Amino acid sequence: MKVVIAEKPSVARDIAEVLNITTKRKGYIEGRGCAVTWAFGHLVTLQEPGAYDPALKRWSLDTLPFVPDEFQLTLIKNHGVAEQFQVIKTLLEQAEEIVCATDAGREGELIFRYILALCNCEDKPIRRLWLNSLTPDAIQTAFKDLKDGHDYDALYAAARCRSESDWIVGLNATRYYTVRHGQIGGSDRVLWSIGRVQTPVLAMIVERDDTILQFRPQPFWELATRYREVVFKYSGQRFEQPEKAQNLLEKITGQPFVITTSAGKKSKEQPPQLFDLTTLQREINKQHGLSAADTLAATQNLYEAKLVTYPRTDSRYLSRDMKPRVPKILEQLKAIRAEQIALLNLAKLPFTTRIIDDKKVTDHHAVIPTGVRPRAIGANEQLVYDAITTQFIAAFYPVCLKNVTTVDGVSAKVKFQAKGTQIVEPGWTVLFPKKKMSQDAADDQALPAFAKGETGPHEPFLREGKTKPPGHFTENSLLGAMEAAGKFVEDDTLREALKERGIGTPATRAAIIETLLRRNYIQREKKQLRTTDMGRCLIALIMDPLLKSPEMTGEWEEKLKQIERSQLAPDTFMAGIDDYIRTLIQNSSARRLDPGRWGSCPLCGKEVIKGNRAYGCSGWQEGCPFVLEPECKGLTLTARQVQALLQLHILPHPVRIDDEPRLLILSTQGQPMDLRLPSANGQKKVEKVERP
């Protein structure tokens, strides 16, 4: 008997229908010498520490770090899991061949292999069904092209390394920081949840929020002039001192304005590339405010409804073998987009390298519609389907042609410049009437014809402004930063190059954000994602910079991809994780107070000295303003507590209160938070301090 294991019941039903397998049993469908069964996503997970040694059930620093010699598996404790697993196990024990039909990716492979291992059926023949969509044609084609299951051993190795490394880092770091610093906030011990991926993401949000919190706007002045109703900007830098700007303004006031050059050039704006999951999530969040998790759920529903291709992809390209299918899909889409597709010549579609590139398609190609006509779908699904379909059609539209005119002028030897953009052929942009095109708003002005050497009166003026802080993260900008390992990159080409080192994967980034929200480390404020007191406090407690480093996490993800390609041995990666967690625990545990010094200034790094009423930086004569006053709201920090603050860096870099720098955690709600600091001997006894 052949046994097919799908990831979900709905997918199993689709496969059974295509294979004409119709007899329904409890937990599977059978017929024609085949049984199709299913998981509920993850059925099997890694064992808890107590399963290895009962003593590990108690959280203690003495048992850390703990890394199993060999990981053990167990069933997830959810309703119905044990019963369905028993069905699968019975079928696999009878099977002559097993077909893996879980999602075609890293996590899908892990789900299947873990089930196989817990059933002790790893020695049985296995085949791999690799699906890009769930249409009947795609399922039939894939079954005709079943792969040897062991062709995907490297993919499983990467998935296992991801699972085990997350367990090692998450469990050990969570236990360490919870035991060591769990008495922060109220009387109950706080569970500080730390993860290999989630903690660097949280650190990015905290850093951004603190940057905004400490930002002090600086005034600036811009010189401009109006000539023939066109605004010309001063060609030099904007001014930080009003006197310099005023001097130039006075210099050109009453003087004629002369046009020195006027030149135009044609510009092309290429059609948008197809969506991968991350760019789809970013676009939907930007345009409609939908969360990354909701966008993924909607896209998954569309995939299971056979309306779009596999969603968890990191590619924005199609493979060459997709070329014959594209015109057929567009032909089918005429039923709902006739007017838009009528402008395309389906016999001569422009298959550029921005669309077709085998080298940039790994496990799956870009997310595109299948051509199946949608019936009744939910509101979120409709938003996502429309975006995917419009992007797919737009990719084959002509470029947008523009005329960009640059006009230079001068008055009293002071140079000015104006720019204007005129759309000649809108091309693909007609499909996005509500979407702002990528050009500077200052370039939108219509320019009349200017002649070199013409002159006339003008109206110079100064514009005063203030510098602005960076914006708070939205899910759109955070997903972009995660994709580029913490770097903020808008250029498509550069972002593509950084994908190998991204934080997490397209399949996991939404879940990471939701985990931080669920644990109250961040919160949503309209479209923004902001840290909470709990999130800021956790990042402050973590002394190891690598544990909250996007770059380090990106390096780990790059190595996992190397394992997928058989370019790195799994044991080498896991040995590095083992060394890392042992070093982290050892170095963190070794930090003790030095009674002979107060600590380092968090502003400049110099030694802190004690004055008559406060603690301050020894570099005060050189302008360092750091001061830490021990008295606050009738409470006084002890000398030991000051040393803990300044030597162990329990709290983050300082912020300003009433324009004075303080080493404190600010409440985003403006409310005080109880903070318990370790006593001098590092034992569990703590003293309570309230901060403003």
Catalytic annotation, pick one of 114, 156, 177, 310 = 310
Who's near 196: CB < 8 A, 6+ residues apart? 165, 166, 169, 170, 553, 556
Which of 222, 221, 229 lies closest to 457 in space, CA to CA?
Answer: 229
Reduce the secondary structure of 591-608 to three states and give it as a string.
CCCCCCCCCECCCCCCEE
Torsion of Cα atoms, 206 then 210 then 213 then 217, to 10°: -130
* In contact, 574 and 165? CB cutoff 8 Å: yes
Q: Could you give the 3-state DSSP secondary structure of residue 515?
A: helix
397 annotated active-site: no
Per the listing, tokens 């997970």 go with 45
Beta strands in 162-271 (DSSP E): 219-227, 230-234, 257-269
Reduce the secondary structure of 315-330 to three states and give it as a string.
CCCECHHHCCHHHHHH
Sign of CA dihedral 567, 572, 574, 576: negative
Which amino acid appears at position 80 of this protein? Answer: G
Backbone torsion region of residue 649, taken as left when φ is above 0, otherwise alpha when ψ lies between -120 and 50, otherwise beta? left
**Alpha carbon distances (Å) from 33 to 4, 19, 90, 96, 138:** 11, 11, 15, 11, 22
Which residues are 529's β-sheet partners? 524
Per the listing, tokens 């996503």 go with 41
**Alpha carbon distances (Å) from 170 to 66, 71, 160, 197, 409:** 11, 15, 15, 9, 62
Residues noted as catalytic: 310
